[in-house]
Amino acid sequence: MPIRPVAPLHLLTVAEYLAIGEIEPGYSELVEGRLLMSPTPRGTTLTR
């Protein structure tokens, strides 16, 4: 069974956000106490 994220019942502090650590795969950001997450695109390469 996959692990599913659960939203906290309160706004996160910076200390709580930093305690989460890196979230793989993807990007996360703390905005006004809310954790915003974006998945990493699959199958794309960023080469020039």
Model confidence pLDDT, tens digit, residues 1-48: 666 666 778 999 999 989 988 877 778 889 999 888 887 777 656 565
**So what's the pLDDT on residue 14?**
93
Number of structural domains found in the chain: 1
**So what's the pLDDT on residue 35?**
84
Is 19 a domain residue?
yes
Is 44 a domain residue?
no
**CA–CA dist 42, 20 (Å, integer):** 24
Is 17 a domain residue?
yes
Element (H, E) at 34: strand 34-38
Q: Which domain holds residue 18?
A: 11-39
Give this prediction's pTM.
0.59
As given in the structure block, the two tokens for residue 44 are 């794309």
